[in-house]
Amino acid sequence: MLVKVFTLLLSFSYVISDGQVRQMVTSYNPGCQTQKCPECSPGVVYVQAKGDNDILHYVVSALGGPPTALVIKTNRPKERYQLNINCKMMASKNDTERKAAITLPSGLKKIYSYGVVFSRLFQYNDTADKADITAYNINSTKWRVYDFTEFEWQDITTWSSNNLIVMKVKTSGEVMDAAFYNESLVLQFHMFDHSDRSKELPHLLYDADSTQFDFTLQDIDTGNYSSARWGLETVLLGSDKKTTGMHIETKKSIDDEYTPGVFEMSNWLTRPGNEANGGYLQWKPVCYLKPGRARSVATKVDYTNLASTSDVNVDTFLQSSIMYSYFPDIMSVSRSATNFTFGLESDGGFTKTNFTSWTAQLGFGAPPEDKVSSLVVGVISAGLGLPVILIMFGGLFVIIKKKTSKEGYTDLDTDRSNIQ
């Protein structure tokens, strides 16, 4: 009963939505005459999110291998606010064509652009069960490296809808003994036109300037690895000079009401110090080992220190991705890489459930922050206020009573018959 009332109260506090609303237009395989387009396989999704003063252009695709989301923020002209995107040119073998596949028409001015590229998956056999990816030498036999440029993806139009873009793997290529097939890797982007909190754990707060993605690994044959764990190599890019240093900021919070048991939030900022005009990747250090997300199946998400992309040799993957079609001069833009790792000491690893799902958020501007809900403030002030009032009035009452009775102990003495 109490729980019900409590959760009911809580559900009220969820209904907070403000901020701007965007108008969304989704198109598939721009530049191709039909929605299904074999020449652009595995397909490109282009979403325009029109606000009052600006437009966010999302281009999401696994063309070339590495799944990528590119976001371009532009002004909002009276007309012609579509990007010039040609997916056939993006898929072209010709470098000159590829370089010119995404351009801005005159009148559309770029305010900022940023994006995320997933370059590789690392599987390691965590025999020490410390869930620390850095503890193993990359040249040892404890590793399998899955390079996304080798992957084949299912057609993006098959599963996607207006505000959900879904990328599913087809195979991981013969080289890597086809450990991945069909749904064993799913990456989906939720597009938002307003502010709210996600219905799914970890209940991240989103706004009209952000998109959330779920990264899911499942049913993967880990062969002879007794305790397989994963690392996801991720690159964040921003349209600044490459000297602009990116930074991951981790904030602790006393408030875990939205994500039970999680007291941290991390923001990977493309423009630290100028967040309001930069991009971010935001996540809570939690992922889930079963499809029914709950605290009982939660485990940790960690990350390795940010590295320069050239140091960890991922620049070639960036060039294979669709980023190259927008940033032809990709070597000169700001970018850095990290490995997100999943799992915690003695949680059984990926092998135990053969499932891991993680949600994070890519967005523009100051990253959303959790605020202590009014429920907490209300209960605390009522709970502490009531006794204080009671003590004050009660104390007053007692003092007055003592003052008015002439002899201090009269009451007690007449009460003597009850002493035990």
Residues that bind another protein (CB under 8 A): 2-3, 6-7, 10, 252, 254-263, 294-296, 372, 375-376, 379-380, 383-384, 386-387, 390-391, 394, 397-398, 401, 409, 411-420
d(Cα 223, Cα 412) in Å, to the nearest integer? 83
Eight-class DSSP state of 161: B
Torsional sign, CA 219, 223, 224, 225: negative
Q: Is the CB of 135 or the CB of 380 nearer to another protein?
A: 380
The CB-of-262 to another protein minimum distance in angstroms stands at: 7
Q: Kindly tell me which of 152 and 257 has the beta carbon lying closer to another protein.
A: 257
**Residue 287 Cβ, how far from another protein at the closest point, in Å?**
14
Q: How far is the CB of 206 from another protein (least distance, A)?
A: 19
Residue whose token pair is 């969304």: 24
Decide whether 110 or 401 has the Cβ nearer to another protein.
Answer: 401
Nearest to 57 by CA among 25, 89, 80: 25
Please identify, using beta-carbon distances, which residue of 254 and 276 lies nearer to another protein: 254
> What stretches of 87-142 adopt beta strand conformation (E)?
102-103, 110-125
Assigned token pair, 63: 């063309």
Which amino acid belongs to residue 193?
D
Rounded least distance, CB 344 to another protein, Å:
9
Identify the three-state secondary structure at position 393.
helix
Nearer to another protein, 177 or 415 (CB): 415
State how far the Cα of 46 lies from the Cα of 90, in Å rounded to an integer.
Answer: 13
- Residue 273 Rama label (left phi>0; alpha psi -120 to 50; beta): left
Residue closer to another protein, measured from CB, 126 or 302: 302
Q: How far is the CB of 351 from another protein (least distance, A)?
A: 20
Rounded CA-CA distance 137/139 in Å is: 5
Minimum Å gap between C-beta 205 and another protein is: 15
